[in-house]
Amino acid sequence: MPLVRVIDRDGSERELDAPNGATLMEPLRDMDDGVAAICGGMCSCATCHVYVDAEWVAKLPAPMSDERDMLGDLTSRRENSRLSCQVLLNDALSGVRVTIAPEE
């Protein structure tokens, strides 16, 4: 079961368990003060925006064009930005550490 480490908007770090095959968005949506994920993972709202710790960026599958397009519209975008609904979790990603991006 993959472990997700998340820094929330208050700067607190938490550890969350998620089932294999879940998206990174799911545990972040289910936590208190997590991501809104308004579109439910359809890659159309960007309210699941996170910053991935540098050591994990290259371990994640590269974003598809629709994710890149959505990220391109965000003023808070950084090099390590991802839409968490587009990242599928598996054991190889256990320990991934992300920071929830500011709301836009």
What is the C-alpha to C-alpha distance for residues 4 and 18, in angstroms, rounded to an integer? 7
Q: Please identify, using beta-carbon distances, which residue of 85 and 97 lies nearer to ligand FES.
A: 85
- Smallest distance, Å, CB 1 to ligand FES? 22
Q: Please identify, using beta-carbon distances, which residue of 47 and 81 lies nearer to ligand FES.
A: 47
Nearest residue to ligand FES by CB is 85
Judge whether 20 and 93 are in contact, CB under 8 Å. no
User: Residue 75: how many CB atoms within 10 A of its CB?
Assistant: 6
Residues interacting with ligand FES, by CB under 6 A? Answer: 25, 37-39, 41-48, 83, 85
